Amino acid sequence: MVEKVALVTGAGQGIGLKIAERLLKDGFAVSLVDYNLETAQKAAETLSSDGSKAIAIKADVSKRDDVFSAVNETVDRFGDLHVIVNNAGLGPTTPIDTITEDQFRKVYGVNVGGVLWGIQAAHAAWKKLGHSGKIINGASQAGVVGNPNLALYSGTKFAVRGITQVAARDLAEEGITVNAYAPGIVKTPMMMDIAHNVGKNAGKDDEWGMQQFAKNIALKRLSEPEDVAAVVSFLAGKDSDYITGQTIIVDGGMQFH
């Protein structure tokens, strides 16, 4: 049995992969959970060629049973669980009049459902294991201030912040902390796709689309996924033991609160 175990959803690429990499460096064995098993397996093999410190698990986080199964498989494989990072998310560009019922169900199912089921599954596991743990949820600066053309995405991320606060109160007596990280404009495939669609909808190019989000960054640079992973590392470690119910904004100074 390894000393520390973390589960990260949406860990096949982008921010989730960098979170998994960072937690591995911090001494965790890591379960990489992703809808795309092939991508997750390649990532896990890169992190731990013999599978002793990183494994890949396929799951659709919008499905409660999938998330519980992923948590149980992680505990079965590594013998424990200490941290869950509910990172998986979808970020479609959705001008307000274009949103469909299917889009609504899909985006809320992953972005909000994935967080709820992750909290439930981790809580159930810790009750069986007889100890507490840390829940870390993926929010967004778009869940702090509404972003144009992102009604679905922003709405889900506001919901994640609210769920984080409620869960922090509900689980505090058990020694469980619940926090969130809110990235700004991170250089990931999902963000590049959002920028492309925002530009396209305005008859502009990708660079114009990106600048609509990036022009007000105080530090004058886009975020790297590693910037976000560093904050998750802090929330997963002992230095954050007296922090709960908070959302740490990692946006280079786009918003000040």
Active-site residues, by number, are 153, 157
3-state SS assignment for residue 10 = coil
Q: Residue written as tokens 């396929």?
A: 58
Identify the CA nearest to 159 among candidates 136, 147, 176, 142: 142
Quote the CA–CA distance of 199 and 211 in Å, as a whole number: 9
E strands, the chain, in order: 4-9, 28-34, 54-58, 83-86, 134-138, 177-183, 247-250
Q: What angle do CA 10, 142, 44 make, to 5 degrees?
A: 15
Residue type at 11? A
DSSP β-ladder status, 134-138 and 83-86 = parallel
